[in-house]
């Protein structure tokens, strides 16, 4: 039986392991440096298309009931003018600590081996090909290695991402936040454009609050940006609320277009954020992680020569257009037109037209 080692038990790694294990033709070993469940800096939004993909994988009924149901979103501009977006589509918010643990449990149930608390120190190579990994416990050989380590690379990235595509997120959780409902809240703030700030409900009175931003020399720090947002938008609602845990910031590794060299090398496939499969405007990566993990497993199971190249082409076809759209919106968001577009939310006929459009979707 062939062996595949998957490094990292996030959504991309777990789905790769799950799909491989279900085949009963591959020994799937999932190596995670921390014990599960472990905290993860992520807003935890599972979009309608993410839920659809989970349904295709037979996991929606396992995941969806554990999340906070989302039935719409409110999009507000700098002046506080807002549009309410509600349609037939549904989403959920589920903290990544629980989401990842569920996926890992399902991978193990399918037959994968999970090695928790074991750090991978590097790759084993032979004749220019990845043939295993070196962990704290020793060397582990494999027919292929899948890297699913998120924004923290196991090895130097094969290229330097354009500076304008590197951005960061900062997130805090609050218990007792007033006004929590079944809607996501998105705020277009001038200081962080082309990105946004958010409030994602996780329960009747708990929510994660955060924003994405790009570093600039001499600019405000992440905490200063978050504090400004909280004071401007949520001061009254936070009265009586308490911070859960600590405020955390993290890098987000996005891409304009998935290139073969960032996705694969001989004996090696990169999935999810390890392959930079993150939307450049929204920072969304969960759907891309699940989809790329599914594609990685499918191409490894297909056999034949060059599964790595087939995988890279499959990702380009399946995810490239989505990522390119996010990149285009990112460029637009940095232009002088962005405040004008946001200002349209204050025009009543435009707001009503947008709300009516979403109501029919």
Residue-level pLDDT at 165: 54
Check whether the bond before 37 is cis (ω within 30° of 0): yes
Tell me the domains of the chain and their CATH numbers: 2-39+96-159+254-332 (3.50.50.60)
Rounded to the nearest integer, the mean pLDDT of the chain is 88
Q: 59-78 as b/e, with b when 16 or more CB fall inside 10 Å?
A: bbeebbeebbebebbbbbbb
79-128 residue pLDDT tens: 778 888 887 889 999 999 999 999 999 999 999 999 999 999 999 999 99
pLDDT of 167 reads 85
* pLDDT one digit per residue (tens) for the chain, 361 residues: 699 999 999 999 999 999 999 999 999 999 999 999 998 889 999 999 999 999 999 999 999 999 999 999 898 888 778 888 887 889 999 999 999 999 999 999 999 999 999 999 999 999 999 999 999 999 999 999 999 999 888 877 665 555 445 689 999 999 999 999 999 999 989 888 888 999 999 999 999 999 999 887 567 899 999 999 999 999 999 999 999 999 999 888 888 889 999 999 999 999 999 999 999 888 889 999 999 999 999 999 997 788 999 999 999 999 999 999 888 877 666 666 555 555 545 445 544 554 454 444 4
Beta strand 120-126 with 129-135: parallel, antiparallel or unpaired?
Answer: antiparallel
- In sign, the C-alpha dihedral spanning 93, 65, 59, 96 is positive
Q: What are 163-166's contacts with CB under 8 Å, separation 24+?
A: 164/214, 164/330, 164/334, 165/254, 165/255, 165/256, 165/280, 165/327, 165/330, 166/214, 166/215, 166/251, 166/252, 166/253, 166/254
The 3-class SS string of 33-63 reads CCCCCCCCCCCCEECHHHHHHHHHCCCHHHH
- Longest Cα–Cα distance of the chain, Å, equals 65
Cβ distance 49 to 91 under 8 Å? no
Torsions phi, psi for 109 (to 5 deg): -60, -35
Cβ-proximal residues to 97 (8 Å cutoff; 6+ apart), any chain: 37, 38, 39, 40
pLDDT value for 77: 82
Neighbours of 217 (CB within 10 A): 4
Q: What is the pLDDT of residue 302?
A: 92
Task: Return the percentage of the chain with pLDDT > 70, whole number.
Answer: 88
Q: What is the pLDDT of residue 53?
A: 97
State the pTM of this model: 0.92
Query: Strands, E, within 202-275: which ranges?
Result: 206-213, 242-253, 264-265, 268-270
Q: Of 260, 272, 269, nearest to 300 (Cα)?
A: 269
Strand order across the 129-135 sheet: 120-126, 129-135, 138-141
188 CB-near residues (< 8 Å, 6+ apart): 75, 76, 77, 78, 196, 338, 342
Provide the pLDDT for residue 345: 54
Residue 303: its pLDDT value, please? 78
């Amino acid at each position: 039986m062939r062996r595949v080692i998957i490094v990292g038990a996030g959504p991309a790694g777990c789905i790769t392991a799950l799909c491989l294990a279900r085949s009963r033709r591959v020994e799937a070993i999932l190596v995670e440096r921390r014990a599960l469940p472990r905290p993860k800096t992520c807003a935890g939004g599972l979009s309608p298309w993410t839920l659809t993909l989970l349904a295709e994988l037979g996991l929606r009924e396992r995941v969806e009931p554990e999340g906070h149901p989302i039935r719409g979103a409110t999009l507000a501009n700098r002046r506080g003018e807002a549009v309410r977006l509600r349609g037939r589509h549904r989403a959920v918010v589920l903290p990544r600590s629980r989401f990842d643990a569920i996926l890992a449990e399902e991978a193990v149930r399918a037959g994968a081996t999970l090695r928790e608390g074991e750090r991978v120190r590097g790759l084993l190579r032979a004749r220019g090909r990845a043939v295993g990994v070196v962990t704290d416990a020793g060397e582990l050989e494999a027919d292929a290695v899948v890297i699913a380590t998120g924004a923290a690379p196991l090895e130097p990235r094969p290229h330097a991402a354009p500076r304008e595509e590197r951005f960061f997120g900062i997130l805090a959780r609050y218990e007792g936040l007033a006004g929590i409902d079944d809607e996501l809240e998105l705020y277009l703030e001038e200081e962080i454009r082309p990105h946004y700030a958010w409030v994602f409900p996780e329960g009747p009175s708990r929510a994660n609050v955060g924003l994405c931003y790009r570093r600039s020399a001499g600019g405000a720090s992440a905490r200063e940006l978050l504090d400004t947002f909280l004071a401007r938008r949520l001061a009254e609602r936070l009265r009586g609320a308490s911070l859960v845990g600590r405020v955390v910031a993290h890098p987000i590794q996005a891409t304009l277009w998935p290139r073969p060299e960032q996705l694969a090398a001989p004996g090696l496939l990169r999935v999810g954020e390890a392959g930079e499969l993150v939307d450049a405007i929204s920072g969304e990566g969960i759907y891309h992680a699940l989809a790329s993990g599914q594609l990685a497993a499918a191409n490894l199971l297909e056999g034949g020569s060059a599964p790595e190249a087939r995988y890279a082409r499959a990702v380009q076809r399946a995810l490239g257009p989505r990522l390119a759209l996010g990149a285009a919106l990112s460029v637009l968001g940095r232009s002088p037109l962005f405040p004008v577009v946001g200002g349209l939310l204050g025009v009543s006929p435009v707001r009503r037209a947008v709300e009516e459009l979403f109501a029919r979707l």
